[in-house]
Amino acid sequence: MLRIEAAEIIVVRLPLKFRFETSFGVQTEKVVPLLVLHGGGLQGLSEGTMEFAPMYREETIAGGLHLLKDVFLPRILGKTFANPEDLEAALGGFRGNKMARAMVEMAAWDLWARMLDVPLGTLLGGRKTEVEVGVSLGIQADEAATVDVVRRHVEQGYRRIKLKIKPGWDIQPVRATREAFPDIRLTVDANSAYTLADTGRLRALDEFGLTYIEQPLAWDDLIDHATLQARLTTPLCLDESITTAQDARKGLALGAGGVINVKVARVGGHAEARRVHDISQAFGAPVWCGGMLESGVGRAHNIHLSTLPNFTLPGDTSSASRYWATDVINEPLEAVDGLMPVPTGPGIGVTLNREFVASIAELHEERTA
């Protein structure tokens, strides 16, 4: 049985090692909410992926912390659950706020796997000991800088290069990259920056042999994606539009895309992520694990999820040292030749660097029943 005895809410701020620009804007640091659930002398860890402002989805850090403290944790502290899916049901009456709910659910999965003394990936149904990873590259100053940063990551062995694009910065960097690297697996990510009025510009990307174009249209739209997909030869990959397994079913049935980016927090946790994986597999649509600039806690969760069989495209779980001078965990998460080893040991296989976390914590609250 899974008894939740206590919880810790921790917020840290980590400076990025590089300037990361997308169609949303420029990011130079990451505020990371962490949750620790205690039970049976063990700890389950998770990380929130909501942002300061509602740019990616509608959730924010402030709203997520409020829900954790005042709504979600009071419903589970001091209570016993049969398993993490039982705990997920205890939060099922609340609408939306998937990322905040995922913090509780993911920490519970980690705690449960540690109690059973098995790796989380094994508990979810995965079998891989390493997963293919790619890299997501932000918008650069010019085409030459784009080719240069792509070259560095190709030389490091990453199995897929993803370029962030936006209107006015799309065909040029993609053409320059493809001319310099005719054989690499190349994708682009628009983060909802386009409309159907940009169909001609998006159709022009067909000539570059992209594996997919990720989320070109509105974050809450499937119909226009289906219209656009019918006009392109390049598969569309759905990201922000998919928050449930039913969204995945509807999107694939409509022909709104042929690939799904699974972000475990975006869909509310591991149980729903596994359902998205299963439905996509039934449609013959490959999935891959997206990233949200996670620290080592969220990155470890993503790696374990990626061990499921339909994760057949490289994910965004590149080496942690790309992002942080010092991570919040003790164990290194480093890819070798584009392959990320799955952390061994029970649960997500990593532990908090308590000394470092304490030195940078902007918030640390403990809760008991």
Maximal CA-CA distance, the chain: 60
Please name which of 139, 137, 99 lies closest in space to residue 263, comparing C-alpha atoms. 99
d(CA 301, CA 126): 12
30 catalytic, yes or no? Answer: no
Please name which of 206, 204, 211, 208 lies closest in space to residue 161, comparing C-alpha atoms. 211
Set 128, 162, 164, 166: catalytic member: 164
- Residue 329 — left, alpha, or beta (φ > 0 → left; ψ -120 to 50 → alpha)? beta
Asked if residues 299 and 118 have their Cβ atoms less than 8 Å apart, the reply is no
d(CA 28, CA 110): 29
Asked if residues 81 and 87 have their Cβ atoms less than 8 Å apart, the reply is yes
Three-state SS letters, 220-286: CCCHHHHHHHHHCCCCEEECCCCCCHHHHHHHHHHCCCCEEEECCCCCCCHHHHHHHHHHHHHCCCC
Cβ-in-10-Å burial (0-12, 13-18, 19+) of 26 comes to exposed
Set 98, 128, 162, 263: catalytic member: 263
Asked if residues 261 and 188 have their Cβ atoms less than 8 Å apart, the reply is no
164 catalytic, yes or no? Answer: yes
Return the number of other C-beta atoms located less than 10 Å from residue 195's C-beta: 15
What DSSP string runs through 13-81? EEEEEEEEEETTEEEEEEEEEEEEEEETTEEEEEE---BSSSSSSS-BHHHHHHHIIIIIHHHHTT-EE
d(CA 185, CA 189): 14
- Residue 23 — left, alpha, or beta (φ > 0 → left; ψ -120 to 50 → alpha)? alpha
Return the number of other C-beta atoms located less than 10 Å from residue 347's C-beta: 28
Q: Which residues are catalytic?
A: 164, 263
